[in-house]
Amino acid sequence: MNRRSISSRKATDLAVKALSSLSAFIGIVALAWILYEIMSRGASSLNYGFFTNPPTPPGMEGGGLGNAVLGTVLITALATFMGVPVGLMAGVYLSEVGRKTRLASTVRFVANMIMGVPSIIIGVFVYTLLVVTTGTFSGYAGATALALIMLPVVASTSEDMLKLVPDTLRESALALGAPHWKVTTGIVFRAAKTGLVTGVLLAVARVSGETAPLLFTALNSPYWPKGLGEPTANLTVTIFNYAMSPYDDWQAMAWGASLVITLGVLFLTIVARALLGGRST
């Protein structure tokens, strides 16, 4: 009976390993296929004019997506400026101040709930809150939607990273007479800086490819952005519009824009992985 039990365990273990390896292989093949398609179709569209020229009218060849690249950078930068500080402060409260309080539990629940909400719902919410009230689509509304998506990611990651810092480090600093805020900013933050930066980069990568929120907020524009108080060009909505168009050159531009976003997200992911792998206190 013991032999049968051991044999069944080995068979189960082997089956699980085989299924896990097969699943990993399928995932890697699918990812490699996607990257190959994007690079092979989009590389030919990337040139100097792609990043420096605005798009041409429908049916005319040439032009670029420089306005969409600039608009994406501006919207993402503003979203980072809005979402990251609030997310970090929320993470500090959950880890260093509130911890097991009822308010902290409520904040965690709300953060987890927002993380699970589809991004299009965030877009509709911001559309009702800002676009309808102001009467115009704008880059500010788009940045607000992306910031709401980033906020719970940064808060959750910050809490986890700060909790990894040993309590003995906090207690030693407090025993020397350092105030609590200085212990948090000067010691705990320094010990967890690699994880905090990694969380921020992952949050930025998370929102850089969002399309649905920007469809309801920033919309799009064929012009160079003069400010974020008007409909603002961005790569994700441009990809959606160009890919659905009947023009071959626009579809080629959509592949090029897809490659730019993919390389940007890949770069941020590699940087985050490198920081995480080189963690030090």
pLDDT higher for 9 or 146?
146
Q: Is there a single domain that holds both residue 92 and residue 17?
A: no
Q: Is there a single domain that holds both residue 20 and residue 91?
A: no
Measured at the CA of 34, the angle between CA 118 and CA 38, to 5 degrees, comes to: 100
- What average pLDDT does this structure show over 50-61? 85
Is residue 240 exposed (0-12), middle (13-18) or buried (19+ Cβ within 10 Å)? middle
What's the pLDDT score for residue 4? Answer: 59
Q: Is there a single domain that holds both residue 29 and residue 100?
A: no
Q: Is there a single domain that holds both residue 169 and residue 260?
A: yes
Q: Domains in the chain: how many in total? A: 2
Rounded CA separation 41/239 (Å):
14
Which residue(s) pair with 63 in the sheet? 55
Query: How many CB atoms neighbour CB 160 within 10 A?
Result: 15
Q: Is there a single domain that holds both residue 71 and residue 30?
A: no
Say which DSSP state 184 is in.
I
What tokens appear for 139 in the block? 């880059």
Q: Is there a single domain that holds both residue 237 and residue 103?
A: yes
User: Tens of pLDDT along 106-158?
Assistant: 888 888 888 888 999 999 999 999 999 999 999 999 999 999 999 999 999 99
Residue with tokens 């809150």: 129
Q: Is there a single domain that holds both residue 99 and residue 22?
A: no
Residue-wise DSSP of 101-161: SHHHHHHHHHHHHHHHS-HHHHHHHHIIIIIHHHTS--HHHHHHHHHHHHHHHHHHHHHHH
Q: Is 100 helix (H, G, I), strand (E, B) or coil?
A: coil
- Whether residue 142 contacts residue 72, with contact meaning beta carbons closer than 8 Å, is answered with no
Q: At 3, is the pLDDT very low, low, confident or very high (cuts 50, 70, 90)?
A: low
Q: Is there a single domain that holds both residue 15 and residue 89?
A: no
165: domain CATH number is 1.10.3720.10
Domain span at residue 223 reads 50-277
Q: Is there a single domain that holds both residue 189 and residue 226?
A: yes
- What average pLDDT does this structure show over 99-103? 84
Q: Is there a single domain that holds both residue 145 and residue 227?
A: yes
Q: Is there a single domain that holds both residue 24 and residue 107?
A: no
Q: Is there a single domain that holds both residue 67 and residue 35?
A: no
